[in-house]
Structure 1
Amino acid sequence: MRGPSPFRGPLAASEFAPPISLGPPEKPSFIVLGSGCYRIGASVEFDWSCVSCIRTLRETGHRAMVINCNPETVSTDYDESDRLYFEELSLETVLEICHFEKPTGTIVSVGGQTPNNLAVPLDKAGIRILGTPPSMIDRAEDRAKFSAMCDELEIDQPEWSEFTKMEEAQSFAEAVGYPVLVRPSYVLSGAAMRVLDDEAQLHSFLATSAVVDQEFPVVISKYIVGAREIEFDGVGNKGTIVNYAISEHIEDAGTHSGDASLLLPAQRLPLELHRRVMQISTQMCKALQISGPFNIQFMSLDGASSSMRSVKVIECNVRASRTVPFVSKTLNVNFIELATRVMLGQDVKPVPVNMFNFDFIACKVAMFSFLRLSNSDPHLGVEMQSTGEVACFGQDSHEAFLKAMICAGLKLPKEPCGVLLSLGSKEKKLIVDHLPMLVEMGYTLYATSGTKAFIEEQKPMFNGKAIAVTLLNTAVSEKTPNVSDAVLDKLVKVVVCTPSHRDSAASTAGYVLRRKALEAGSALIVDIRQ
């Protein structure tokens, strides 16, 4: 095998050219694997982590080399690293470069899922991986191994099991009850992950996808409706947490963390739950021998009998998460700088953190490109769909959230106008208490037939009078007045339409309404928690 032949200067390309000698490096060299091409789920958040790692390496007197193939990233700028290999992040290419450069170590934990997937095969090939041991990365990534570890540590999680046969999967789903969550291993952004409501959906999904595999069996778990989701971002040093941040999702669990709206610090987390989250995170950091960045996602169940049962673990990523830039900027502590120093073996002491002593709230919300994606259904689910994000600060959660939503492109009307409500059964119950506020603000209420009937049954009042709601027929109906005409004629400028079906491919009346609202430039709200 011939070695790679670098260009002059810091840029390099691994051609199959005669081997050359650059002489021994003057200082210890480390390779940082980047995030690869931009796509939904892998974007600038991971490149921020890569750049922070590279700069820390150079500031501490080390030689930093980067392997990445995206010209849009900062990490591929010619002056960011000592040497850049503009190459794909495949096992063959990375091994070739590592064998040629003979680095002191390789960092896989700052570029997202793509480089993290290379940790185990690189380790087997004799490449030294800095940070968390590759065997522990595999223990966290493999759904079955991770769930078994949780059982050993007596950490609660949704009921689960793994399968390679369709019949076994159907029997388990019937036993725990629908809906269920199908989760393959080693995936980014919820790819190939689905929430399924019945046996027909389960059979259709498993029969038409390649997720049932002998090497990596599919894991099916009970999907819990209405739970609150909590994010824990931390830095570990040989199994001890040295810094952390706890944020919460505004939306219920089931919305991908890359699409969800986050509040930092968490605003609805009682002290008892905060302690339980810290306890579990400490256990996992120690069990996985984490040295570097990591992220744990939890769900909290209101009304549970005890704090031990009220907090369940969803997953743990032993790498930098996409929320690391957000928490680093909010807390004014660069988590990746700390993690890099840990991976270099420096003596990094735990940083004092007080999640209860903030005089501001930070909110991160996602940005979407549904308008550019023909026939896409603008709704939230377990598979990531956002293409960007913004964050804002406020004196309270409402101010921070409103600022962030406006920055993300939500066009709220400046004057009172028509608000159209088209909600599922659960959301109908939640909206009733807010109707008097909308009427007081001067908004005129419209609703589709099911939502209007439910509101009239509840008989909400304002100033001693029943709240009036005008009926609009669905977008697929030929009757008038029609939601399509109301949206296009600007009679309605705010549309609150939550999907009644989790399958984004289902062409329902709600889907048609959401597309109409999006194309007309209306303010579209698809999650009642927002």
Structure 2
Amino acid sequence: DKASDYLAVIDITPYFSRSSALASKASGLPAARLSAMAAAGMTLDEIKTSAGEPISGYKENPQHIAVRMPKWDFEKLKGSRDLLDIQKKSTGEAIGIGKTYREALQKAAASLDKSGLDDDALSGKTAEQLSAALRMPSSKRHFIIYRLLKMGADVSRICEITGIDSFFINEMKELALLDEQLCAFRGGTLPESLLVQAKKNGFTDRYIAKAINSTEHAIRSRRAELKLFAGIGDVNGYGQHNSGFFYCSYNIQSGLPQPQSEKKKLVVLASGYCAIGQGTEYDNSVVNACQAFRELGFEAIVINCAPGAASTDAGVADKLYIEPLDAEHILNICQAEKPYGIIAQFAGENAPRLAAELASAGARVVDSYASRLSFAENYALFAKTAQKLNIPVYPSAEAQGLAGALKAADETGCPAIASISTSCGEKTVKIVYSRQDLETAFKTMLDDENCTAAISRFYPHATAAQADVLSDGENIFIPAVSEHIELAGIHSGDSAAVIPSATIPQKHIDAIRRYSALIAKELGVCGLCSLHYSIAGDTVYLAAAELYASRSVPIAAKVCGINMAKAAAAIIAGKINGVKFDMGSLACSSTGYCGVKEAVFPFGSFPEVDPALGPEMRSTGSVLGLADSFGLAFFRAQEAAQASIPLSGRVLISVNNEDKQEALIAANAFKQMGFEVLATSGTHRWLKENGVDSTYVYKLDEGRPNILDEIINGKIDIIINTPATTQGLNDDSYIRKAAIKNKVFYMTTMAAAIAAVKGINAVRGTTHFIAKPLHEYHGSNQ
């Protein structure tokens, strides 16, 4: 307590935590490794730092400051309340390291994909509105404070409202004042002294360019003329070029001398902070690729800003730079290290954008996607390329504004998937069943007339499949084709998936392999790519292309017994050295077992959010279940992701009209297994008409005891609830929310329900689980 100086211990964390990871990266000490040494019996005198000194004599070397900023994803969780409290709601975090607090703060903000602390989403808000918003702690609090300070707000008043120490507010005030000086030169040329001051205070080239109405390239060129470059700092503080942990700062006049290496240097871009759609799966590929590059004789240099990522651990790469993953900071490192090239394909969804920016700035991106970026993002080019290769694709179109989107929807037909974006970065993805649905989707956007929309035809009962492809530009290797358990319309990252495919006919598997080979060769893919397909009727459609190492790569690698990221690194290394990689040497383990991937969702921290799945990704990670049968593998995946599927009890079934036929199959199966089946009015009536008995249960407005009462009282063990239309999403959301709040096992698709039936049957038919190490599944391939 600041007023009384009273100090109290409120918690003890007896394990490696997020704060441990932060302290480890900020100090350069590999805390987890040191802890393991101590656990193995070594004394503090025996454990040495990278400088060779006993850890017992370690003293903090405050030559730099580290600032951590959490990453929140409230905008991707529709219906969530942006309010910070004792429940953790961040999905990830980024760290910024600098010589001063201001510089480190700005770098942390840049690491969260923001050019600076001035959030454009707050433009147009009055000081009164911002002050009112500041009273409740939210994910935008720092950015609200900064905007108020630019408006001239009093520091003491902000301290009074927020309880934040005046040091931090005063530091932000200094940045706001400097920001105003930059804006005064809008349309003009910045004085050298002001540009130097701005860079030392952490303002990015992008932010400065926006402030003076210039371009990032122009600011970069101006810095080059002035020889204004960032120096290299040693995070350990020992001043050693081989310490392994580094950062960049414009407050360092001349950085550490980077010795010339006989090895070729490769800068490997990591994926950054964890967020919805950007989990640790990408980081897994970074770690494996770095290990492969080092084994093949290269010097691997990783750039990342996530303190808890495995790729930032000691020993993964030869050097680690804790820096934002944007063009400016990556080029700063290249300026100092003089690498042979940059590897971008393991940076997750940011890979194509970063590769294009770096290539346009003159950097050598070894696995360059710059020329192929438009293929994945331009619907017209995507369709044209597929047509050239005689690969079926769904009808699709792009349009500007609501009128254009309605016309595009008329051309493609409904139902369709509409991806709508605004100029300020707001984005939503919806399934629209009619023109009215599309109009409603547009009305939710801030600037509906200036929105751009990509409309693609959608076949609701199509089967989705995915192929992770290794390619050398001519030949390909696909370890297996995964089948999504949820039908098309559910984002691939949110859908459960099975390897090998459980129900897709071999002729369609052959078509997927053939189409994948054509695409990889046409685009000259070197390394990894992921191609998504949809099977409707008897036709295989190419649905999407990810021209980088996708989040499904670690899953395919674990199931098939082949390290795909290492193989991709070997292919790239062969390209660099002019030695063609032997694609024929790649082989998978036997397929006498099954792997089921299940998504992990953050809904437990957001009880107000409807967990119904759709085309917009909301999972933060994934787990894998391995077993000798599909049912058992699915059951194990559910155990890891959510909770064990109850093996007996009462199951509530409440489904939309489109799912009634499958609900009949599921209800019959649950009855045969001894479950009591409960159903709401429409489902109850359908089951009765088809000879399946069920207990009628009231909806919320029909009487008592209703569904909510039964859930709260613990009288329901499994919930199957499938929404259909926008109306359905609103009507039944209370059922799904109650399931999460009361920890009842729930499913929102019939595909998952049918899979759960198989899982229960498999477990009931197994007298005991036999845990096997991974190499036993892979057999002779290891």
Write out aligned runs for 1:400-411 (5 A). 400-411=633-644
Write out aligned runs for 1:416-427 (5 A). 416-427=648-659
Write out aligned runs for 1:455-494 (5 A). 455-458=687-690, 460=691, 467-475=692-700, 477=701, 479-494=703-718
Task: For residue 149 of structure 1, give the secondary structure of its aligned residue in structure 2.
Answer: helix
1:26 is aligned to 2:249: no
CA–CA distance in structure 1, aligned partners of residues 655 and 515 of structure 2: 36
Give the C-alpha shift of residue 202 in structure 1.
1.5
If you compute each CA radius of gyration, which structure gives the higher value, 1 or 2?
A: 2
Contact 1:239/1:288, CA 8 A, preserved across alignment = no
Which residue of structure 2 aligns with residue 281 of structure 1? 516
1:14 is aligned to 2:248: yes
Give the C-alpha shift of residue 353 in structure 1.
7.3
For 1:481, the aligned partner's letter is P
Write out aligned runs for 1:66-465 (5 A). 66-183=302-419, 192-209=428-445, 218-302=453-537, 304=538, 310-344=539-573, 345=575, 346-351=579-584, 358-414=591-647, 416-458=648-690, 460=691
After superposition, give the CA deviation of every residue in 1:157-180 in whole Å (9 maximum; x if it has no partner): 110111123212102213433221
For 1:374, the aligned partner's letter is P
Task: For residue 6 of structure 1, give the secondary structure of its aligned residue in structure 2.
Answer: strand
CA–CA distance in structure 2, aligned partners of residues 31 and 40 of structure 1: 26
Identity of aligned residues (%): 26
1:524 is aligned to 2:746: yes
For 1:420, the aligned partner's letter is L
CA–CA distance in structure 2, aligned partners of residues 67 and 24 of structure 1: 19
Contact 1:164/1:212, CA 8 A, preserved across alignment = no
Task: For residue 234 of structure 1, give the secondary structure of its aligned residue in structure 2.
Answer: strand
1:65 is aligned to 2:292: no
After superposition, give the CA deviation of every residue in 1:78-130 in whole Å (9 maximum; x if it has no partner): 32212111011112211222222221010000120123311112111111111
For 1:340, the aligned partner's letter is A
Give the C-alpha shift of residue 448 in structure 1.
0.8
Q: 1:330/1:212 Cα in 2 relative to 1: closer, same or farther (>3 Å)?
A: farther
Structure 1's consecutive aligned runs of 4 or more residues displaced over 6 angstroms after TM superposition are 210-214, 352-356
User: Unaligned regions of 5+ residues in structure 2, if any?
Assistant: 1-227, 235-239, 753-782
Which residue of structure 2 aligns with residue 2 of structure 1? 229
CA–CA distance in structure 2, aligned partners of residues 276 and 262 of structure 1: 19
CA–CA distance in structure 1, aligned partners of residues 449 and 562 of structure 2: 42
1:52 is aligned to 2:288: yes
Task: For residue 13 of structure 1, give the secondary structure of its aligned residue in structure 2.
Answer: strand
For 2:367, the aligned partner's letter is G
- Which structure has more relative contact order (CA 8 Å, sep 6+)? It is 1
Q: 1:234/1:106 Cα in 2 relative to 1: closer, same or farther (>3 Å)?
A: same
Task: For residue 507 of structure 1, give the secondary structure of its aligned residue in structure 2.
Answer: helix
Task: For residue 117 of structure 1, give the secondary structure of its aligned residue in structure 2.
Answer: helix
Q: Which one has the bigger strand percentage? A: 1
Contact 1:131/1:342, CA 8 A, preserved across alignment = no
What is the aligned length?
A: 509
After superposition, give the CA deviation of every residue in 1:443-496 in whole Å (9 maximum; x if it has no partner): 1121111111111222x2xxxxxx322211112x15123111111112221111
Give the C-alpha shift of residue 6 in structure 1.
2.7
TM-score normalised according to structure 1 size = 0.90
Give the C-alpha shift of residue 218 in structure 1.
3.2
Q: 1:511 aligns with which of 728, 733, 737?
A: 733
Which residue of structure 2 aligns with residue 464 of structure 1? none
Give the C-alpha shift of residue 513 in structure 1.
0.9
CA–CA distance in structure 1, aligned partners of residues 315 and 562 of structure 2: 24
CA–CA distance in structure 1, aligned partners of residues 687 and 438 of structure 2: 34
CA–CA distance in structure 1, aligned partners of residues 505 and 248 of structure 2: 54
**Aligned-residue CA RMSD (Å):** 2.4
Contact 1:234/1:245, CA 8 A, preserved across alignment = no
CA–CA distance in structure 2, aligned partners of residues 202 and 315 of structure 1: 22
User: Unaligned regions of 5+ residues in structure 1, if any?
Assistant: 305-309, 461-466
For 2:263, the aligned partner's letter is K
For 2:581, the aligned partner's letter is V
